[in-house]
Copies of this chain bind each other. A is one copy, B any other.
Amino acid sequence: MKRTDKKSVRRKGGAVTIDEVAALAKVSPMTVSRVINGHSKVRDTTREKVMAAVNKLGYVPNAAASSLAAAQDARIALIYTDPSGAYLRELLMGTLHGAARSAAQLVIADWDELGVGTERKAARALARKVAGVILPPPLCESKTVIDELVKAGVHVVAIAAGRFDPDISSVRIDDFLAGKEITSYLIKMGHTRIACIKGNPSQSASTRRFEGYQAALKEAGIPLDTALVRQGYFTYRSGLPVAEELLALRKPPTAIFAGNDDMAAAAVSVAHRRGIDVPRDLSVVGFDDSSAATTIWPELTTIRQPILAMADAAIDILLRAIRRKESEPRVVVHQVAAHQLVLRDSVAPPHTASGKKS
């Protein structure tokens, strides 16, 4: 006679509880719980009764209560270092979606704020707060960060890393293949003087993409012209001077493959300022399909990373790891998501190929 009592004094909002649903459906709260959580051992007729009651009452489970009871405090953190890039924001949205879908609680944290002291301290602090961590670049490239995290007992999954650390799970695209694919596309369009603006050398994705670029050239029998290869840092600003150099060359490239969209946008901007039309006089391609790709004119041909799906996958991996009993062996998963070549307006056949000046 404890639960069926009148509403307790400490109840606040008029939220519907599992007991009310149970009462209406004339079953035990336990059965309602089973229905809600999709357990199999429930008779269909019972399930229907319960669902009817749930809908009638507009019952929504109390997340706090269930995670408390289930001891499944599935809190996951997304740790970033450099909140600038358009890329991070996409990732954030994706993770948020995935977390909502899985009833995981997402914590967003800045590694630098976390690690006021040493990295070890930061890792420990984090370990107390969450059970799993999603690590985007460049954090996921840092062996020390990963080690501390793992040592602190947190489950970790690297997202969008160029190479994968065998110790931790990862979700990524094949940067090499993608880089090769988009370069080959440029070649197919008739380009042979294709420049490359590499991304931040400290992130291995940059290297993978560049290797893809080289492979495509090689496959087409085009010798690598080092004069056409420049170093950028994934930022818009870093793309400006190198694009400037490239376009000031006596024999400028007819196409530029930038390591990401931000640098590609910089190249387009520089081209425009020099009176070079994109794509007529210069083709430009980016990488990531971040918001920068469509926030310029012409919109960029680029490689899309399926961030949303990748974030979802990362969360799934984490959740599975967290819920695994301690007796079961630890499992490391490496997942490669399919990228996609997105054709937009920043590419055309090279000017010289289609005839003299129009």
Docked pose: A84 CA to B83 CA in angstroms: 18
Confirm or deny: A122 has a beta carbon within 8 angstroms of a beta carbon on chain B: no
With both chains docked as a complex, state the minimum distance between the C-beta of A114 and any C-beta of chain B, in angstroms: 12
Docked pose: A108 CA to B60 CA in angstroms: 17
Taking CB atoms and an 8 Å cut-off, the chain A residues in 78-96 that contact chain B are 83-84, 86, 89, 92-93, 96
1/0 contact trace for A292-330 toward B, CB 8 Å?
101111000000000000000000000000000000000
Give the chain B neighbours of A291 by CB distance below 8 A: 84, 86, 89, 291
A295 touches B236 (CB 8 A): yes
Tier of interface size on chain A: 35 or more
B297 touches A269 (CB 8 A): yes
Give the chain B neighbours of A92 by CB distance below 8 A: 89, 92-93, 96
Taking CB atoms and an 8 Å cut-off, the chain A residues in 222-238 that contact chain B are 236-237
Give the chain B neighbours of A294 by CB distance below 8 A: 236
Give the chain B neighbours of A167 by CB distance below 8 A: none
Give the chain B neighbours of A265 by CB distance below 8 A: 295-296
B-contacting 9-mer, from A66-74, A169-177, A199-207: A66-74
Taking CB atoms and an 8 Å cut-off, the chain A residues in 112-133 that contact chain B are 124, 128-129, 131
Given A92-B92, A265-B296, list of 5 further CB < 8 A pairs?
Answer: A13-B73, A62-B68, A93-B108, A100-B109, A269-B296
Binding site for B on A (CB under 8 A): 10-13, 15, 58, 60, 62-65, 67-68, 71-73, 75, 83-84, 86, 89, 92-93, 96-97, 100, 105, 107-109, 124, 128-129, 131, 236-237, 240, 262, 265-266, 269-270, 272-273, 275, 277, 291-292, 294-297
